[in-house]
Every structure is written in structure tokens, then in C-alpha cells.
């Protein structure tokens, strides 16, 4: 079938919401039909449930951290417990929540649908990746339950290999294993995007969500193996006492830092690029306009992915790398910031002369733009070598990355989840509740993390459970904000669950959005499309041409 | 107790502090500028182009290469200003000036051990004179730590197995926080102390006054001769005999090992034909693991002293070897120009 | 020669056999790229330490037996040849030749692993396994130990890849004997071949880096 013209003009809806008879959700109800599924949509759901569990676990540790920091003395948690809390918070949030968050859930669900395919190229590999994820998660949970890890999520040597007495091994094994699930997901996406596009869907007709996932997959595939081998070496040194990084055994601890950040800096782009893809989709849809500067946004994703591999040394400004290395990494960090800035400006320009409405996904997307900008701009602060000597390893850095990872990536995840919720489950979420939650998250977030910039510049080091008295007021503010934030997160959790049963039935295309995924019923049938769609036009076919001078400004 | 008098801005107490703060203000200005533009347009457009019964469809605008170029080039130009500014500050921070007051810092889970060139040692407290550069030579006995004084806007990692340097020039007498900024284990948050900046005269007094009984920790260095503390050079000299270095390293040469007079700062020929500059790092390696670099014309017979000397003792030996000059040093604090720090 | 299966199996989500084959081969290449990065981390570590401690690395390298290493290199190269012949046999539907060559490849792989095991045993005997019991009489034992750490990490990971390859070959052999592969469907043989060649290639780098340094 040729793609039926999508009604993106917001004419009154003609289609009545009909519950499709056979969907991927009701095809089979048995447990084994879920645990042995090779349907990318079901695997996406499996991932969604798992990462949400990890998110709340990571959130609980964050709650512990924030509660301890209410008072300057270590009253609530012992030093040792606190160290384990922030370590497990970081490990769980990064490796088990944020890295897989958008790619493995929304990405798994949408990549095949957006390109008009019936599944990912390797469905069984996809299922395998989930099992690997769960296995890695299990090891990490063993580490948590068995007493925790206290190395920080960065595992710096020789502390992690020689001195720490906590459960470093199970945690390292968990991260090592989970890495392979990322690799497999990335491999699957790359092959799928290369080989499975519907007829007529050329590269520059791909939705920006796909471009973002393509770029992310490149990092998955090129970066993750390096963290795997690094963690492997840490395991060797710790387990067998063979020297690799410990100077007492002839090794070089800074080499570990280089290898670690060679993955972990690109990994921060794994965490943000998919979110940028989500935001691009949402903004055009609710502004009823084609995206501004399509090819610039598309290529900037690839540019970020590639350049992201050459800036790792900006985490080592104080680590005694050579002065010239530091300068090169500094200047490259500024180069990699430009594609991000380009994206932000293009999103703003997309709003210009739009017909904007403010459903919850749009609120999240707009919140993303603001908070990501602040996070990114403070990235420019810390990339200035002379400046970073002061704020490195203080709360300034903590604030920087939470602005991007929570204010940016988590908001994009929530926005995307609301946006595609009707497609995934065939139910609408309650709009009013969702708007309120989005606003609460935004307020709570800023109250939590803005004071941390000030704290950082004042000099409060990170990973301190006790601190001088004069930092208390700002810490109390931050903890207060975190409680608001927790409410903001719990709300969607509740009303989204509620909507599964009681939400209004969703039509195939509730937002009158363009994009192949909206062509099939909600929720889609197992095969996604009754017939392979044929694509004949560019993406984001929103808006009108009638205002002739609006077509091309400049 | 003083919970309600809380600062929003750190004290400026070194020559570096205002410099870093200027960059900070500039960065805040740049951020405000972009935040205002972005928030302004975002909110402005959201209001002006919101969906209304008469405005239901957006305009099909696909882009503008001119704008794309503009909003790539302009931010890039601004970031380059930030980069050069930050680089310039970094150069200033990386090059300790000559004639600095020298302090040796050993980080250890979870305390700071400091020793002044003149001999006085302290723990978790550093006394320095106002208006004079202070240069720190730092190493760690176990894991990585980081020496951080917010009021001076300076921080540098302290690593096991190598020397790093940092310096500052305090401008205001007072007491300032000293933090360990690199996570180093359970009591990381307890690895704190204070820097006491004193008037020069008071500092000189303090330097020469007999120390309070320090031995709350094992006072490993200097043979406890009682009385005034040994300077690192003197302690090193004692060690040199005590550890039998002297048997192989006679001042006039001729023993198993080379004479160490005038070695420091010189260029040493190695057995494999390459050369190295005998800086702190080289001497340190020669002592702890002499086999990794063999001096031309000698056999690799020197035993390894790894594990037999504490970091403080190694530092003292180095200071002693540094002091072995044919023209006897006038004072104590000498700074051979070749002692370029190994980081640069 | 049974050709009962002339139309190959196409999974439900592919349009045709060609798309399926293209997807598999791209997937394999991407996988090999991840493998390159995986070993790349180790090679980087090696290069860093060797540059820092050339003497120690040269000295320690002399503890390795070049003859044995060279023999193993030949074994592995031959196995690459038989693997290439297997792929060819599958492509031209020669079942007997396919089975024989797969079998030979497996045997050669096992010879390699056996020799490797002997080398390890020998190192164990000479206390050259890094760790508390490491004994080394040459210059700079601390950094010589680094060399051995890397030697075991690198050849050990390589051997692990060989073992995985052996398992793959075993499965292929069974399926080939059942007549699964023919000129219409030989993707698994081809992909396993790529993998096997890659593992060989790693060894081609490992051999000079570990055995031959300092022996110009
Ligand atoms: C998703 C995660 C994410 C992302 C996207 C980024 C993005 C960036 N990060 Fe961040 N970073 C982290 C997560 C992230 N970071 C984490 C987790 C750490 C700490 C790890 C740890 O130690 O535990 C860290 C630490 C960190 C450091 C080390 C600090 C230290 O430890 O001392 C540095 C230093 O250069 C840095 C820089 C940058 C830069 C330049 C960007 C840029 O890519 C940002 C680009 C974005 C913009 C610039 C915003 C858009 C701006 C505009 C529209 C305005 C106009 C633009 C200009 C004037 C250029 N980051
Ligand atoms: C990747 C994603 C990610 C996310 C989403 C978060 C989310 C949050 N983070 Fe985290 N954080 C990191 C990544 C992340 N963080 C990393 C990598 C580090 C560095 C670790 C290290 O140094 O090694 C770090 C470190 C870190 C610190 C510094 C600790 C230290 O250095 O001593 C702090 C302190 O405030 C903090 C706070 C928070 C808070 C309040 C949230 C909030 O957004 C979370 C709010 C969520 C909830 C609260 C859960 C939902 C609610 C419930 C489950 C109900 C129960 C709740 C209560 C009873 C209150 N984080
Ligand atoms: Cu020492 Cu932290
Ligand atoms: Cu980074």
C-alpha cells in the first residue's frame, strides 16, 4: 500500500477509536510468550519494566544520599554506607537505567516501525540482549545485596583493584556483561537501519529519531567493547593480583582513567543523543511544522558521535596528564559542543511561526531544551582547563551532569514515553495529571540541582557524606527539591499504570503526527504493518505552503 | 551552629583566585546571554505562535543555511575565547615560580602529611606565609588523592608512584579549608584539614619553634634524635648511610655504583644508549626500581628499595641527592632550573 | 549431493533471501568491528607500557619460545586456508569437501590450543605467571611482570575466541553433515569463516608483538 496521506492538518478526526482485534499485546497471554518473544515490541516492554525497576532502585539510593546531606555531620549513614549509596546510585543510574533507557525501550519499539520494517534484523539477538542485560543486572544486584560497592561509578584504580574491600568483583562482572547487551542492541540497530528500510525511505527521509539512534549505535558498537576490556583488566588485577594499573605492581593508574573515559565520555552521548531524537519528533509534531534544518540536526548527531570519541581527556585535567594533552582535550571539547548548540537553535527555530500546543510531551520537550542548555553551557565551564582545576570533583560537576542527564535525558525519556504511550498500549494517559507532573518535575529538578552549582563553586567536594557547616543551607534546599522531584516521578508511574486499564482508547494517530509508526493501529499488530508501506515524501509533512513567502526565508 | 550565615561565593585568598573568578564571571555572562536568548525566544514563540482557532497550522519553513552557519560560527568563536582564557590560566597554574617556599606533601588514607623544606612537619594542617609562592611536591602512599584548597582555586591529584606539583601564592592571612577531592575510600570526607596563612614574620617564628609532639602517627622518617626537626636534606643524609647507599655510592666514585654528586639535574647516559634528565621522577625510579633504567657503564646490581622506604624517606633521599653539589649550596632552598616538573 | 533445499529459509521479517544475507554479513562485520575495539583496548595498554619500559619488555619477551610460537602461527594460517576452502565448498555445494575441511580446521584449531596449553604449563613451571609467586631473574622484574600480565591477558582472550570458534565449527560440522548447506544457503559457513579469519588476524598481530620484540 502506498502510505495513505497522513492528515496532519488537524482536520476534525474522522476515525473512531476502534480497538484492533489482534495486537502484539493480546496475541498470546502466556508467560512464555513474553519471555521467549522475538517481537521487538514485546522486548521493548520487557526492557521498559526492567529499567524502571532499576530507576527506582537508583532513585532510592539518591534519596538516601540526599537525606544524609541534610545535615553537615554524618548522622544518618556511616561514611562507608554513604559511599556505597552514591556508588550504587551512579552505577545503576548510568549502566542499568540511562544508557538503555531510550534506545532499548522506545528505540526497540520504534526503530523498525519508523522505517517500515516488520522487526529488527536479528530478533533473537534482540531477545538475547535483554537476557544479557538481566544477567548483568543480577550480578549487580548481588553486589548490592551482598553489601554494596564503594568505588564510585568510575572505579578508579588502584582503589578499586587493591584497596577497596567491598563487592567490586560482582559489580564489575555485572557491568562487563551488560556491556554486551548494549553492543548487541547497537549492532541490531545499525544493520536494521542499513538494510531494512521501506522502499522509498532514503537516508534523508529518515525521522531524526532514527538518525539519533544510528549515531547512538555507532557509539555502542565502538565504545562499549573498550569499557568491557577495561573492566576485564580491573577484574584480572583485583582477582588474580596481576599488575596492570596498580603502581605498586608496576602499573599506571592514569592509564585506567584514559581507558575508562574513552568509553564513558562517548557514553554520555549515548545517554543524550536518543533524547535529542525524541525531542526533535515531539517539537515538530506539536508545533505543526516541519523541523527546521533537518539535515543539520541529522548530521550533527553523527558529528557528536564521532567527535565524542576524542575528548575523553577532559575528565583528567587534574590527573597529571601532560599540559599539552589537557589543552588539546579542552579545545576538542568545545568543538564537540557546537553540534549540540546547532540542535538547540534549530529546535527553537522550529517553533517560529508554528501552531504550538502544550500537551505533556511538548512540556517535557521544552523543559529539555532549557535544562539541557544550562547543563551544556556549564559543560563549557568545566572544559576550560584553568577553571576546572577549581571545580573538578566538586558539586559543580555533579550539577553539570545532572542537568544534562536528569534535566535532559530523563525528561526526554518521560516526554517520549507519554508521546508514544498511546501507540505502545493503545490507551491515552490522563492529560491534566501529566501536565501537572511535568511541571512538578521541572520545579523539583531545578530546586535540587541549581544550588549544587553554587555549592560546587564554593568548593564542596563530591562524594562527601559530611561537610563544613556553611554548606548546609544549600544542601537543605537541594534535598527539599529532591523530595518534590520524587513526587514528580511517582505521579507518572501511577497514572500511566492506571491508564493501562482505565485510559481512553487511543486512535491510531492521536497526535495527527507524521511518521510510519502512526500508520498502523494502536497498539500495532505483531507484524507491525499489514503491507510494507512505500514512502514517497520527506518526513515531517506538517504545515502548509500556502503562505508562499514562508517556504524559504533566506 | 552558624548554619544561617552561609556564603554564596568562596573567599579569594590567593593570586589565582581573582583570575579564576574573572573567567567565572565571564562564563556566567555568556551563559546568561544564551539562556536569555533561548528562553526568550522559546517563551516568546510559545506565546505568539500558540495554537488558536485561527492559527491551527504551522508554516512550512525548512531551514536556512545562512542561519545554520551563523549559529555555528558565533558560538564557536565565543568558545575559543573561553578556551584561550582557560588555557592561559592553566599555564599560570602549571608553572610554579622560582624561589618558592617548598613543601612536601604525602597523601595517605586518610590524612595529609606535610613537611617544609626547613624541616618542620605537620599533619592535616599547612602553615604558609602570606605573599610568598609555595610550591608543593606531592605523592601518595596508597591510592589517588587530590589536594584542594577552594579559597586558592587550586587542586591537583596526588598519585601513588609519581610526583605531581602544585603551587599558590596566598594573599590573605586566615584559615582556609583543605579538602581531599579525589575519592579515596571510606574516610575520604575526613581527609580534610586547614591551611593557615600567616604574616611572614609570624610564619618564620612558627617554622623554627619546636613542634608539638607529633607522634600521633608513626613518625617514620628521620631517626628520632629529639630536639629540632631534621630538614629533609639532613634526614636524607642520615638515611643514605643507614640504608647503606654509601657503600656503593661514594662521593668520589670508584665503588659499585656511580657517584651521585652533581647528578641531579644533569643528563644521564643510559646503558641502552638513550639519555634522561635526572629529575625527581628519575631519581625516585632509580631508588625504588633501579633496574628499569641502567646507567651506562654500570651493572644492574643495585637492589630494589621498593617497599623498604616510605614515600617521605624517598623524598628525603631525593632532597639529599639534590643537595650534593660540588659548589656547596649557600642556603637550603635551592631550585635548580632543570628541576622542571615532570608533568610539562 | 542433496539439493532438496533449493529455496533457502527466509525469516518472516525479511523480504527475500538477499536482504537476509546482506543483513547477516553486515551484522558480522559490525560485530568484528566491536571485536577490534575490544582487543584494541588491550593493544593500547600494551603499547603504552612497552613504550614506557622497552628494556623490561624486550627482556621478558626472550622468555617466550619463538619456535613454538612460529609453529603455532603456521598451524593457524593453515587453518585459515582450510576454513576458506570450507566456505568455497559450501558455495559450490560440495558436501564432502565441506565436511572434510571443517574437520581439518577444527583439528588445526585444537592443535593450536594444545600447544598454547603446553606453553602456559611451561610458564607455570618457570614461575612466570604474574602474581605473588612470580619469579623472574632478568632485569626489572616489576615491569617484566607487566609484560607477562599482558601476555596472558592477550593470548588468553585470543584462546577464548578460538574456543568459541571451535564450538561454532562443531555446530557447522554437524549441520554440514546433515546437508544443510548448499550454494543457495551457506551464510552460517561464510560468517563463521569471517570470524575465524579475524581470530587468526589477531594472532598475526600478537605473535610479533609478544614473541619477536627485541629480535630484529
Ligand atoms: C548525558 C550526559 C552528558 C553530556 C551530554 C555532557 C556534555 C558535555 N560535557 Fe559533561 N559530564 C557528564 C555528562 C555529560 N556531559 C558526566 C556524567 C560527567 C562527570 C562524570 C564523573 O566524573 O562522575 C561530566 C563531566 C564533564 C567534564 C569533566 C569535569 C570534571 O570532572 O572536572 C567536562 C569537562 O570538560 C565536561 C564537558 C562537557 C561538554 C563540553 C559537553 C558538551 O557536549 C555540551 C554541549 C551542549 C551545549 C553547549 C548546550 C547548548 C548550548 C547553547 C544552545 C548555547 C550556545 C552554545 C555555545 C556558546 C557553544 N563534562
Ligand atoms: C544517570 C542518571 C542519574 C540520575 C537519573 C540521577 C538522579 C538523581 N541524582 Fe544522581 N548521580 C549520577 C547519575 C544520576 N543521578 C551519577 C553518575 C553520580 C555520580 C556517582 C559517583 O560519584 O560515583 C550521581 C551522584 C549524585 C549525587 C552526588 C553524591 C556525592 O557525590 O556524594 C547526588 C547528590 O545529591 C545525586 C542526587 C540525585 C538525585 C536527587 C536524583 C533524582 O533525580 C532522583 C530522584 C528519584 C527518586 C527519588 C526516585 C523516585 C522515588 C521513589 C523510589 C520513592 C522513594 C523516595 C523517597 C522515600 C524519597 N546524584
Ligand atoms: Cu584522600 Cu579522598
Ligand atoms: Cu566527558
Distance A387 CA to ligand 3 centre (A): 21
Radius of gyration of chain C (CA): 21
How many angstroms separate the first and last alpha carbons of chain B?
Answer: 45
Sign of CA dihedral A93, A98, A100, A102: positive
Atom of ligand 2 nearest to the CA of A67: 59
pLDDT over 60 at A265, yes or no: yes
Q: Which three cell numbers stand for residue B227?
A: 630536639
* CA-closest residue to ligand 2 atom 3: A93
3-state SS, one letter per residue, for A84-101: HHHHHHHHHHHHHHHHHH
Partners of A459 on chain B (C-beta within 8 Å) are 10, 148, 150-151, 177, 179
Residues of C in contact with B306 (CB under 8 A): 142
Task: Decide: helix, strand or coil at residue B147.
Answer: strand
Contacts of C55 in chain B (CB under 8 A): 272, 292-294
**pLDDT of res. A378:** 96
Kindly report the protein residue whose alpha carbon is nearest to atom 22 of ligand 2: A152
Nearest to C23 among A121, A228, A230 (CB): A121
Secondary structure (DSSP) of C166-190: HHHHHHHHHHHHTT--BTTB-HHHH
Q: Do A459 and B343 touch (CB under 8 A)?
A: no
Residue-wise DSSP of B166-225: EEEEB-S-EEEEEEE-S--STTGGG--EEEEEE-HHHHHHHHHSPPP--TTS---SS---
Q: Would you say the C-alpha torsion A380, A382, A385, A390 has a positive or negative sign?
A: positive
- Model confidence over B203-214: pLDDT tens digits? 999 988 766 554
Q: pLDDT, tens digit, for every residue of A495-546?
A: 999 999 999 999 999 999 988 999 999 899 998 988 888 888 888 888 776 6
Say if the Cβ atoms of A293 and B86 lie within 8 Å.
no
CA dist., res. C216 & res. C203, Å (int): 19
Q: Is A344 helix (H, G, I), strand (E, B) or coil?
A: helix
CA of A256 to the centre of ligand 1 (A): 21
Q: Which of A34-43, A289-298, B311-320 has the lowest mean pLDDT?
A: B311-320
Q: Do C142 and B294 touch (CB under 8 A)?
A: no
| 3 state SS of A397 | helix
Residue A21's pLDDT is 67
Q: Which residues face B123 on adjacent strands?
A: B113
Q: Measured in angstroms, how far is the CA atom of residue B268 from the centroid of ligand 1?
A: 44
CA distance A302 to A280: 15
Average pLDDT, whole number, for chain A? 91
In this predicted structure, the answer to whether residue A6 has a pLDDT above a threshold of 90 is no
Contacts of A295 (CB under 8 A, 6+ apart): A204, B63
- Residue A407 CA to residue A279 CA, distance in Å, equals 13
Better-scored residue on pLDDT, B272 or A222: A222
Which residues in B lie closer than 8 A to residue A354 (C-beta atoms)?
A: 45, 49, 58-59
Residues of C with CB under 8 A from a CB of B: 53-56, 139-143
C-alpha cell at position A141: 544486584
What was the pLDDT predicted at B229? 65
- Around ion ligand 4, residues with a beta carbon closer than 5 Å are A 265
pTM of the model: 0.90
Closest ligand 2 atom to residue A465 Cα is: 32
Average pLDDT, chain C: 89
Phi–psi pair at A462, nearest 5 degrees:
-80, 165
The CA distance from C19 to C7, in Å, is 14
Q: Does B45 touch chain A (CB under 8 A)?
A: yes
Q: If we measure between CA atoms, which residue out of A333, A298, A296 comes closest to residue A315?
A: A333
Strand-pairing partners, residue B133, are B169
Q: Tell me if chain A has a CB within 8 Å of the CB of B270.
A: no
Neighbours of chain C (3+ CB pairs under 8 A): A, B
Q: Is A75 on the interface with B (CB under 8 A)?
A: no
List C-alpha distances in Å: A406 to A61, A94, A99, C112.
Answer: 15, 11, 12, 51
Q: Is B183 in the pocket of ligand 3 (CB under 6 A)?
A: yes
Average pLDDT for A490-497: 95
Three-state DSSP state, B54: coil
Can you give the pLDDT at residue B1? Answer: 40
Distance in Å, alpha carbon of B159 to nearest chain C alpha carbon: 18
Surface of B (191-220) touching A: CB under 8 A: none
For atom 43 of ligand 2, the residue with the nearest CA is: A406
CB count, 10 Å around CB of A501?
Answer: 7
The C-alpha angle with vertex A13 and arms to A12 and A19, in degrees rounded to 5, equals 165
CA distance B209 to B98: 26
Nearest Cα of chain A lies from the Cα of B61 at a distance, in angstroms, of 5
Checking if the pLDDT of A83 tops 80, the result is yes
Mean pLDDT of all residues in A309-331: 93
Q: Which of B217, B146, B279 is nearest to B136 (CA)?
A: B146
Pairing between β-strand B267-269 and β-strand B133-140 as defined by DSSP bridges:
unpaired
Distance in Å, CA A160 to ligand 3 centroid: 14
Residues of B in contact with A204 (CB under 8 A): none
Could you tell me the mean pLDDT of each successive run of 10 residues in chain B, 344 residues long?
67 94 96 96 94 86 91 96 95 88 92 89 93 93 95 94 92 95 94 95 87 48 49 83 83 81 84 82 84 81 81 85 68 39 36
Q: Is B129 exposed, middle or buried (0-12, 13-18, 19+ CB in 10 A)?
A: buried
With an 8 Å Cβ cutoff, are A236 and C31 in contact? no
Q: Shortest CA distance to A344 belongs to which of A377, A311, A379?
A: A377
Residue among A118, A191, A241 whose CB faces C26 most closely: A191
Q: Please name the chains neighbouring A, where neighbouring means 3+ C-beta pairs under 8 angstroms.
A: B, C
Q: Residue-wise pLDDT tens for chain C (216 aa)?
A: 344 444 567 788 888 888 888 899 999 999 999 999 999 999 999 999 998 888 888 888 888 889 999 999 999 999 999 999 999 999 998 899 999 999 999 999 999 999 999 999 988 888 888 877 888 877 778 888 899 999 999 999 999 999 999 999 999 999 999 888 888 888 999 999 999 999 999 999 999 999 988 665
Beta carbon of A152 within 6 Å of any ligand 2 atom: yes
- Region A256-284: mean pLDDT is 95
Strand order in the sheet with B121-123: B121-123, B111-116, B101-108, B133-140, B164-169
How far apart are the C-alpha atoms of B234 and B169, rounded to whole Å?
27
Residue A37: CB partners within 8 Å, gap ≥ 6? A43, A46, A127
Per-residue pLDDT tens over the stretch B151-169: 999 999 999 988 999 999 9
Instruction: Determine the distance from the C-alpha atom of residue A374 to the mean position of all C-alpha atoms in its chain, rounded to a whole number.
Output: 17
Region A354-382 average pLDDT: 96
Q: How many of the other CB atoms lie within 10 Å of CB of C32?
A: 16
Q: Give the DSSP letter of residue B113.
A: E
Question: What is the ipTM score, two decimals?
Answer: 0.90
Q: What are phi and psi of B142, to 5 degrees?
A: -135, -90
Q: What are phi and psi of A292, to 5 degrees?
A: -80, 130
Q: Tell me whether strands B133-140 and B101-108 are parallel, antiparallel or unpaired.
A: parallel
Amino acid at each position: 500500500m502506498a502510505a495513505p496521506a497522513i492528515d496532519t492538518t488537524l482536520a476534525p478526526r474522522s476515525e473512531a477509536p476502534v480497538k484492533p482485534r489482534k495486537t502484539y499485546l493480546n496475541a498470546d497471554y502466556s508467560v512464555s510468550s513474553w519471555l521467549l518473544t522475538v517481537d521487538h515490541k514485546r522486548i521493548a516492554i520487557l526492557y521498559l519494566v526492567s529499567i524502571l525497576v532499576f530507576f527506582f532502585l537508583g532513585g532510592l539510593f539518591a534519596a538516601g544520599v540526599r537525606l544524609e546531606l541534610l545535615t553537615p555531620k554524618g548522622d544518618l549513614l556511616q561514611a562507608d554506607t554513604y559511599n556505597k549509596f552514591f556508588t550504587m546510585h551512579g552505577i545503576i543510574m548510568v549502566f542499568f537505567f540511562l544508557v538503555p533507557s531510550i534506545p532499548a525501550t522506545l528505540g526497540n519499539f520504534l526503530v523498525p516501525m519508523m522505517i517500515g520494517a516488520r522487526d529488527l534484523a536479528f530478533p533473537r539477538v534482540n531477545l538475547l540482549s535483554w537476557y544479557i542485560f538481566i544477567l548483568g543486572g543480577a550480578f549487580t544486584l548481588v553486589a548490592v545485596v551482598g553489601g554494596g560497592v564503594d568505588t564510585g561509578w568510575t572505579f578508579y584504580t588502584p582503589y578499586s583493584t587493591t584497596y577497596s574491600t567491598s563487592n567490586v568483583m560482582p559489580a564489575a562482572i555485572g557491568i562487563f556483561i551488560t556491556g554486551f547487551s548494549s553492543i548487541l542492541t547497537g549492532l541490531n540497530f545499525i544493520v536494521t537501519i542499513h538494510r531494512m528500510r521501506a522502499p522509498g525511505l532514503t537516508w534523508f527521509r529518515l525521522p531524526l529519531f532514527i538518525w539519533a539512534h544510528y549515531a547512538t549505535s555507532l557509539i555502542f558498537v565502538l565504545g562499549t567493547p573498550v569499557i568491557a576490556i577495561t573492566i576485564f583488566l580491573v577484574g584480572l588485577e583485583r582477582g588474580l593480583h596481576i599488575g596492570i594499573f596498580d603502581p605498586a605492581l608496576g602499573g599506571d593508574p592514569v592509564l585506567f582513567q584514559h581507558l575508562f573515559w574513552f568509553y564513558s565520555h562517548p557514553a554520555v552521548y549515548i545517554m543524550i543523543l536518543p533524547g535529542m531524537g525524541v525531542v526533535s519528533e515531539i517539537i515538530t509534531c506539536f508545533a505543526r511544522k516541519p523541523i527546521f534544518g533537518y539535515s543539520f540536526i541529522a548530521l550533527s548527531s553523527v558529528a557528536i558521535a564521532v567527535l565524542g570519541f576524542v575528548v575523553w581527556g577532559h575528565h583528567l585535567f587534574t590527573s597529571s596528564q601532560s599540559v599539552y594533552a589537557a589543552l588539546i582535550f579542552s579545545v576538542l571539547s568545545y568543538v564537540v559542543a557546537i553540534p549540540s548548540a546547532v540542535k538547540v537553535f534549530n529546535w527553537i527555530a522550529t517553533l517560529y511561526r508554528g501552531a504550538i500546543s502544550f500537551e505533556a510531551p511538548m512540556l517535557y520537550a521544552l523543559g529539555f531544551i532549557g535544562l539541557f542548555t544550562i547543563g551544556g553551557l556549564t559543560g563549557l565551564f568545566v572544559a576550560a582547563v584553568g577553571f576546572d582545576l577549581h571545580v573538578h570533583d566538586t558539586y559543580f560537576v555533579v550539577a553539570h551532569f545532572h542537568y544534562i542527564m536528569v534535566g535532559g535525558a530523563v525528561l526526554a525519556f518521560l516526554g517520549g514515553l507519554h508521546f508514544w504511550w498511546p501507540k505502545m498500549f493503545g490507551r491515552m494517559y490522563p492529560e491534566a495529571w501529566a501536565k501537572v507532573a511535568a511541571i512538578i518535575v521541572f520545579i523539583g529538578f531545578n530546586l535540587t540541582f541549581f544550588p549544587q552549582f553554587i555549592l560546587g563553586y564554593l568548593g564542596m567536594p563530591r562524594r562527601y557524606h559530611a561537610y563544613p557547616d556553611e554548606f548546609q543551607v544549600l544542601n537543605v534546599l537541594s534535598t527539599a527539591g529532591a523530595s518534590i522531584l520524587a513526587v514528580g516521578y511517582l505521579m507518572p508511574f501511577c497514572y500511566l499504570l492506571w491508564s493501562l486499564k482505565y485510559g481512553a482508547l487511543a486512535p491510531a494517530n492521536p497526535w495527527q503526527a507524521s511518521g510510519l509508526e502512526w500508520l498502523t493501529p494502536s497498539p500495532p499488530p505483531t507484524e507491525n504493518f499489514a503491507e510494507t508501506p512505500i514512502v514517497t515524501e520527506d518526513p515531517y509533512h506538517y504545515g502548509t505552503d500556502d503562505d508562499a513567502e514562508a517556504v524559504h526565508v533566506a | 551552629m552558624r548554619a544561617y550565615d552561609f556564603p554564596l561565593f568562596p573567599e579569594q585568598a590567593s593570586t589565582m583566585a581573582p583570575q579564576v573568578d574573572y573567567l567565572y564571571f565571564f562564563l556566567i555572562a555568556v551563559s546568561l546571554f544564551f539562556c536569555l536568548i533561548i528562553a526568550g525566544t522559546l517563551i516568546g514563540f510559545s506565546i505568539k505562535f500558540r495554537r488558536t482557532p485561527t492559527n491551527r497550522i504551522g508554516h512550512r519553513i525548512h531551514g536556512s543555511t545562512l542561519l545554520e552557519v551563523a549559529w555555528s560560527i558565533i558560538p564557536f568563536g565565543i568558545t575559543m575565547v573561553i578556551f584561550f582564557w582557560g588555557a592561559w590560566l592553566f599555564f599560570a597554574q602549571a608553572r610554579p615560580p622560582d624561589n618558592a617556599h617548598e613543601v612536601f606533601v604525602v597523601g595517605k588514607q586518610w590524612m595529609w602529611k606535610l613537611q617544609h623544606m626547613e624541616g618542620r612537619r605537620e599533619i592535616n594542617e599547612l602553615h604558609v606565609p602570606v605573599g610568598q609562592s609555595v610550591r608543593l611536591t606531592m605523592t601518595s602512599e596508597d591510592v589517588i588523592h587530590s589536594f584542594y584548597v577552594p579559597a586558592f582555586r587550586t587542586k591537583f591529584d596526588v598519585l601513588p608512584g609519581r610526583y605531581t606539583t602544585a603551587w599558590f601564592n596566598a594573599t590573605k592571612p586566615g584559615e582556609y579549608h583543605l579538602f581531599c577531592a579525589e575519592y579515596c575510600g571510606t574516610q575520604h570526607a575526613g581527609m580534610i584539614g586547614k591551611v593557615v596563612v600567616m604574616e611572614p614574620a609570624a610564619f618564620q617564628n612558627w617554622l623554627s619553634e619546636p613542634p608539638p609532639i607529633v607522634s600521633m602517627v608513626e613518625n617514620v622518617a628521620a631517626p628520632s634524635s629529639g630536639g629540632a626537626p631534621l630538614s629533609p636534606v639532613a634526614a636524607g643524609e642520615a638515611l643514605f648511610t643507614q640504608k647503606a647507599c654509601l657503600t656503593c655510592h661514594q662521593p668520589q666514585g670508584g665503588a659499585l655504583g656511580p657517584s651521585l654528586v652533581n647528578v641531579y639535574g644533569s643528563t644521564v647516559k643510559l646503558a641502552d644508549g638513550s639519555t634522561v634528565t635526572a629529575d625527581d621522577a628519575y631519581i625516585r625510579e632509580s631508588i625504588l626500581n633501579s633496574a628499569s633504567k641502567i646507567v651506562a657503564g654500570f651493572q644492574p646490581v643495585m637492589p630494589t628499595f621498593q617497599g623498604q622506604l616510605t614515600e617521605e624517606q624517598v623524598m628525603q633521599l631525593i632532597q639529599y641527592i639534590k643537595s650534593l653539589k660540588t659548589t656547596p649550596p649557600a642556603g637550603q632552598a635551592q631550585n635548580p632550573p632543570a628541576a622542571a616538573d615532570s608533568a610539562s | 549431493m542433496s539439493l532438496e533445499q533449493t529455496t533457502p529459509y527466509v525469516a518472516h521479517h525479511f523480504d527475500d533471501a538477499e536482504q537476509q544475507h546482506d543483513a547477516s554479513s553486515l551484522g558480522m562485520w559490525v560485530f568484528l568491528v566491536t571485536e577490534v575495539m575490544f582487543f584494541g583496548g588491550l593493544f593500547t595498554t600494551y603499547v603504552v607500557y612497552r613504550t614506557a619500559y622497552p628494556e623490561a619488555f624486550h627482556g621478558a619477551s626472550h622468555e617466550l619460545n619463538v619456535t613454538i610460537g612460529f609453529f603455532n602461527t603456521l598451524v593457524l594460517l593453515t587453518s585459515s586456508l582450510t576454513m576458506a576452502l570450507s566456505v568455497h565448498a559450501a558455495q559450490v555445494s560440495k558436501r564432502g569437501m565441506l565436511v572434510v575441511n571443517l574437520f581439518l580446521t577444527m583439528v588445526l584449531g585444537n592443535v593450536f590450543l594444545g600447544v598454547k596449553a603446553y606453553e602456559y604449563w611451561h610458564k607455570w613451571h618457570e614461575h612466570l605467571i604474574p602474581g605473588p609467586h612470580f619469579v623472574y631473574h632478568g632485569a626489572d622484574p616489576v615491569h617484566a611482570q607487566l609484560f607477562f600480565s599482558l601476555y596472558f591477558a592477550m593470548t588468553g582472550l585470543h584462546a577464548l575466541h578460538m574456543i568459541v570458534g571451535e564450538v561454532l565449527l562443531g555446530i557447522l560440522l554437524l549441520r554440514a553433515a546433515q546437508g544443510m548447506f548448499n550454494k543457495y544457503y551457506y551464510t552460517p559457513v561464510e560468517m563463521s569463516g569471517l570470524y575465524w579469519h579475524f581470530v587468526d588476524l589477531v594472532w598475526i598481530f600478537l605473535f610479533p608483538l609478544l614473541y619477536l620484540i627485541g629480535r630484529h
